[in-house]
Amino acid sequence: MTPRTTVDGEVRTAQPESAKRGADLLHDPLLNKGTAFSREERLRLGLLGLLPPAVSTAEAQAERVLRNVRKRPEDLDRYVDLLSLLDRNETLFYKVVTEHIEELLPIIYTPTVGKGCQLYAHLFRRSRGLFITRQEKGMIRDVLRNWPRRDVRVIVVTDGERILGLGDLGASGMGIPVGKLSLYTACGGVPPWQTLPVTLDVGTNNQALLDDPLYLGVREKRITGKEYDELVAEFVDAAQEVFPKALVQFEDFANHNAFRLLHEYRDKVCCFNDDIQGTASVTLAGLYSAGRITGRRLSEEVILFHGAGEAAIGIADLVVSAMMADGSTKKEAMSRCWFMDSKALVESARKDLQEHKRPYAHKHKPVGDLLSAVKELKPTALIGVSGKAAQFTEDIVRAMATLNDRPIVFALSNPTSNSECTAEQAYRWSSGRAIFASGSPFAPVDFEGRRFVPGQGNNAYIFPGVGMGAIASGATRITDEMFFEAARALAARVSSAELERGCLYPPLTQLREVSAHIAAAAAQVAYQRGLATEPRTKNLLARIRGLQYKPEYPSYA
């Protein structure tokens, strides 16, 4: 009575714990087919009478889901509907999402997931993932062993302190690991039974949550220092022991923890930080695509970052590596990256700089505002990663357009309400000359007889493929080179026609194929650098395509 799947022509068992019957089978979202169980299966599996008599096709079920979702008046309602589907029938959820990814990606992830996290306790239906608190110290291995599936390959973990641009949401940040892992499956093809969302609930400093009688997390201020570090260390060690083949993705940790945790563990375990490295990779891909429009090499760009947190520094570090590969020295490459933080230009005379900003503190007179910095530094690219809305004013965009025939303007802050400017503003204020990308989606813009299709610099282009590449190769580490090559692979998938429309990324409808190419690029690095543990195949791309999960109902033979 075990569902099976076919990979590379080999029939494999999907999950070991699948010999369920009756109501137990219907209540397991990985195994449930709902009304798609055939008459014979209902007789054999003790389902007779537990379902309406009509047998539906998966296509009919998907149509029913879409009709109901589209009738909902608000995106948050659609988000709740889709999460409810995920809780009862994962195969159908992924069928609907993968076949309508362009429509539903903004619903299941950014920007709607942000609102879902803010209201997590009020929308709570069913627990997904694992919650670990300070009370579990010394017992984290036991907590991880409570997870019902052993073959976990990807863990997304957050401590909820910096959820998107929304700040400290504590345990309510669990929506992010759940959402990220749904994209690992929908976009990258990682089987859903190989994923595990984790929240380290170390408290929250958000007083509104602490005062909310419905809040579901630990009602205490955040632990810090040695106690925090010991809890994270125990989790990382336990994850390696219980799930030895798992990649750990750190997600939405605050700056003061994100950099140092990445530095601590990146050379010890298979891990990465998507906010630092994934954002960097998708942005670098956008710059590569922009270079095809401007005719400039990456090493010729002068980049001004508005924001100097983990995303900004991560982008700059990867850009520097890419410029060095383009022939620049490290000093030359770093000198072409400038930062404005919340106070002023990051420059060498400042005494208040955090450690991660100091390598980019170049010699320059003080500059107190972004418009003045644009006029002083004459950047070719302006990248917004501030988390603050409406920072790219009309004067600033016009100044960029005065300095550059084709100014690069990336407004990457999420969710949409935090974007530094809208697509329509960027095109209108630059007289249609801006090369624009954003972190959240914007609709096409009609301006002076031309239709622009703004590109979304969504990390979903990168991390699912990198994760699948790690699985396919059995990578023991995730390196910056993998993200460098992922950016190249992504940019290579952008057609000339898409660039002509102003889009720096391939259509979201191509995400699974794009992810396969990125996975092959990441796996190739693992093999070249001696980091792979899986046997190498002649056609790596074909192997990865074969490994990708397909949302098809199993046959209970």
Mean pLDDT of 329-357: 95
pLDDT higher than threshold 80 for residue 5: no
Mean pLDDT of 19-31: 93
Q: Provide the number of structural domains found in the chain.
A: 3
> DSSP labels for 347-363?
BTT-S---GGGGGG-BS
| Residue of 109, 360, 461, 556 marked active site | 109
Are 175 and 263 members of one domain? yes
Cβ atoms of 137 and 226 within 8 Å: the answer is no
Q: Residue 110 — pLDDT band, cuts 50, 70, 90?
A: confident
Residue of 391, 477, 379, 389 whose CA lies nearest to 435: 379
| Domain end marker among 97, 118, 138 | 97
Could you tell me if residue 401 is inside a domain? yes
**3-12, 62-71, 436-445, 502-511: which has the minimum mean pLDDT?**
3-12
What's the pLDDT at 138?
97
Joined together, the tokens standing for residue 80 give 């709740």
Could you tell me if residue 42 is inside a domain? yes
What's the pLDDT at 3?
44
Q: What is the pLDDT of residues 354-376, one digit of tens each?
A: 988 999 999 999 999 999 999 99
Are 201 and 289 members of one domain? no
Joined together, the tokens standing for residue 283 give 């942005």
Q: Residue 415 — pLDDT band, cuts 50, 70, 90?
A: confident
Are 332 and 427 members of one domain? yes
pLDDT higher than threshold 80 for residue 18: no
What's the pLDDT at 414?
83
pTM for the whole structure: 0.92
Are 91 and 201 members of one domain? no
* Percent above pLDDT 90 for the chain: 91
Joined together, the tokens standing for residue 104 give 């539903």
Q: Residue 547 — pLDDT band, cuts 50, 70, 90?
A: very high
Q: What is the pLDDT of residues 441-500, one digit of tens each?
A: 899 999 999 999 998 999 999 999 999 999 999 999 999 999 999 999 999 999 999 999
Active-site residue 268, yes or no? no
What's the pLDDT at 2?
38
Are 74 and 170 members of one domain? no
Q: Report the CATH number that the domain containing residue 138 is assigned in CATH.
A: 3.40.50.10380
Are 214 and 334 members of one domain? no
pLDDT higher than threshold 80 for residue 504: yes
Cα–Cα distance for residue pair 1/18, rounded to 1 Å: 7
pLDDT higher than threshold 90 for residue 12: no
**Helix residue spans in 385-479 (DSSP H):** 394-403, 423-429, 463-473
What's the pLDDT at 306?
98
Could you tell me if residue 517 is inside a domain? no
Are 290 and 431 members of one domain? yes
Q: Report the CATH number that the domain containing residue 19 is assigned in CATH.
A: 1.20.1370.30
What's the pLDDT at 7?
46
Joined together, the tokens standing for residue 200 give 């380290």
Distances (CA, A) of 259 to 262, 277, 309, 314: 5, 11, 10, 9
Could you tell me if residue 243 is inside a domain? yes
Are 186 and 88 members of one domain? no
Cβ atoms of 418 and 387 within 8 Å: the answer is yes
pLDDT higher than threshold 80 for residue 6: no
| Residue of 20, 95, 180, 357 marked active site | 180
| Domain end marker among 213, 239, 269 | 269
| 3-state DSSP assignment of residue 452 | strand
pLDDT higher than threshold 50 for residue 52: yes
Domain housing 341: 278-460
* Number of CB atoms found within 10 A of residue 170's CB: 29
| Domain end marker among 97, 128, 149 | 97
Joined together, the tokens standing for residue 12 give 């494999």
Are 328 and 447 members of one domain? yes
Could you tell me if residue 472 is inside a domain? no
Hey, what's the torsion of the CAs at 420, 312, 324, 514, to 10 degrees?
-70
Are 288 and 254 members of one domain? no
Q: State the chain's mean pLDDT as an integer.
A: 94
Mean pLDDT of 188-211: 98
Could you tell me if residue 498 is inside a domain? no
Q: What angle do CA 300, 368, 287 make, to 5 degrees?
A: 25
Could you tell me if residue 307 is inside a domain? yes
Q: Which residue has the higher pLDDT, 503 or 17?
A: 503
Mean pLDDT of 331-355: 95
What are 12's strand-pairing partners?
Answer: 5
Could you tell me if residue 518 is inside a domain? no
Are 215 and 120 members of one domain? yes
Hey, what's the torsion of the CAs at 91, 97, 100, 102, to 10 degrees?
-160
HSE, CB side, 13 Å, CA atoms: give it for residue 455.
32
Q: What is the pLDDT of residues 251-308, one digit of tens each?
A: 999 989 999 999 999 999 999 999 999 999 999 999 999 999 999 999 999 999 999 9
Active-site residue 228, yes or no? no
Are 120 and 169 members of one domain? yes
If phi > 0 it is left, if psi is from -120 to 50 it is alpha, else beta; for residue 212 that is beta
